């Protein structure tokens, strides 16, 4: 689960909808978070997502739009595909400097005869028209224009999103926050910086790779989840027993980090390390122990960015734990000097 509630602030990071890796946020989780903060409370939603399941994005959009209090959404790194639909629910949408917004047509994979493919085309056209209505409502521009932008897979910088009417303002509070983990290379026109980042971090498609089965006579399912906006549910891995093991391992890691003694007084940083990085458990707890208590990630953007960059190397292939821990300690020391 990648939903964090802190007062009247809700943080949504990772993929939109549930997946086999357990790093997504779903519409029921967001609805529960809204109930926790209170139906009439003015809220701020911090959003950082590369997309995911289209219908989950639509459901979350509806839940936020129905909220009685004012809804401010801050796109901290990226709001692409299904996440861009969520962003449109804001009464005020702020794009952090350096953040990007992307809209495109929904996609799915169909197996079957010509009639099955024709049915998928009809389904995708209806879904695309529905999302175009949402974008048109936000921007005040014609639905046909939104459909053209979607078909072209349109990426916008923070200022471009404001100029086009998708966002209301730009900000600098979260300028240094890295886009959330997602297989950006799966998009047709992803900015080179995002595609390179995904490759460097080893961010894989949402769908687990299927083991080759040359003799298999079982057809693929009618629809599988692509690393793009899709309206279908996930495809299980070839070995059904593998997914529960992966999810259990991930949940155990998150629990161990967030409940460690070192997490006390550093809850925000603990949540970041547990949910937004692949840092090994021991390294994450060591990073927590080295950080000052009572610190807020947003209180000092420069120092937080330095700590994040140092911590991220631990999760990268070939990262040097000793070197990174030293860098992290240096970043923490800088924070202490500034306070």
> Which of the residue ranges 24-28, 199-203, 226-230, 326-330 has the most confident prediction, judged by mean pLDDT?
24-28
Per-residue pLDDT at 67: 96
Query: Rounded to the nearest 10 degrees, what angle do helices 281-290 and 301-315 cross at?
Result: 160
Give the residue, 327 or 5, on which the prediction is more confident.
5
Pair of tokens at residue 195: 């595609």
Per-residue pLDDT at 304: 42
Q: Give 131: exposed, middle or buried? Use CB within 10 Å, 0-12, 13-18, 19+.
A: buried
Pair of tokens at residue 112: 């079957």
Per-residue pLDDT at 307: 42
Band (pLDDT 50/70/90 cuts) for residue 185 is: low
Q: Give 278: exposed, middle or buried? Use CB within 10 Å, 0-12, 13-18, 19+.
A: middle
Give the CA count within 13 Å in the CB-facing half-sphere of 323.
Answer: 9
pLDDT of residue 120 exceeding 60? yes
> Which of the residue ranges 54-58, 68-72, 245-249, 277-281 has the most confident prediction, judged by mean pLDDT?
68-72
92-101, 163-172, 249-258, 316-325: least confidently modelled range: 316-325
Per-residue pLDDT at 277: 75
Per-residue pLDDT at 298: 39
Per-residue pLDDT at 270: 81
- In angstroms, the CA 247 to CA 297 distance is 27
Give the residue, 58 or 206, on which the prediction is more confident.
58
CB atoms within 10 A of CB 298: 14
Give the residue, 171 or 201, on which the prediction is more confident.
171
Mean pLDDT of 92-113: 90
> Which of the residue ranges 236-245, 256-265, 276-285, 300-309 has the most confident prediction, judged by mean pLDDT?
256-265
pLDDT of residue 22 exceeding 90? no
Domain with CATH 3.90.226.10 in the chain: 3-201
Which SS3 state, helix, strand or coil, does residue 293 take?
coil
Helix boundaries (H) for 74-221: 82-87, 114-139, 143-151, 158-163, 192-201
pLDDT of residue 331 exceeding 90? no
Mean pLDDT of the residues in the chain: 75
- Percent of the chain whose predicted confidence (pLDDT) is above 70: 64
Terminal Cα-to-Cα distance of the chain (whole angstroms): 33
Per-residue pLDDT at 245: 61
What CATH architecture is 3-201?
Answer: Alpha-Beta Complex (3.90)
Give the residue, 226 or 44, on which the prediction is more confident.
44
């Amino acid at each position: 689960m990648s939903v964090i509630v802190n007062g009247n602030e809700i943080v949504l990071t990772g993929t939109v909808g549930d997946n086999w890796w357990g790093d997504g946020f779903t519409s029921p989780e967001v609805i529960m978070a809204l109930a926790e903060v209170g139906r009439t409370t003015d809220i701020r939603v911090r959003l950082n997502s590369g997309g995911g399941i289209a219908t989950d994005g639509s459901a979350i959009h509806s839940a936020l739009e129905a909220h009685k209090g004012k809804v401010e959404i801050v796109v901290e790194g990226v709001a692409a595909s299904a996440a861009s639909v969520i962003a449109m629910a804001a009464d005020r949408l702020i794009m952090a400097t350096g953040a990007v917004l992307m809209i495109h047509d929904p996609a799915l994979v169909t197996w079957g005869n010509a009639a099955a493919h024709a049915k998928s085309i009809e389904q995708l056209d209806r879904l695309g028209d529905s999302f175009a209505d949402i974008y048109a409502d936000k921007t005040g521009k014609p639905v046909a224009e939104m459909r053209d932008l979607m078909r072209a897979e349109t990426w916008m910088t923070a200022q471009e999103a404001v100029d086009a009417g998708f966002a209301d303002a730009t900000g600098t509070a979260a300028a240094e926050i890295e886009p959330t983990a997602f297989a950006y290379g799966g998009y047709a026109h992803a900015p080179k910086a995002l595609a390179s980042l995904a490759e460097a971090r080893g961010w894989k498609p949402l769908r687990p790779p299927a083991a080759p089965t040359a003799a298999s006579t079982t057809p693929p399912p009618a629809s599988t989840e692509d690393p793009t906006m899709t309206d279908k549910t996930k495809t299980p891995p070839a070995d059904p027993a593998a997914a529960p093991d992966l999810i259990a391992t991930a949940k155990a890691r998150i629990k161990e980090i967030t409940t460690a003694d070192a997490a006390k007084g550093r809850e925000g940083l603990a949540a970041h390390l547990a949910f937004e990085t692949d840092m090994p458990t021991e390294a994450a707890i060591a990073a927590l122990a080295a950080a000052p208590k009572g610190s807020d990630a947003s209180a000092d953007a420069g120092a937080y960015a330095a700590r994040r960059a140092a911590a991220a190397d631990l999760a990268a292939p070939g990262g040097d734990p000793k070197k990174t821990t030293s860098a992290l300690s240096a970043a923490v020391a800088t924070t202490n000097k500034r306070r």
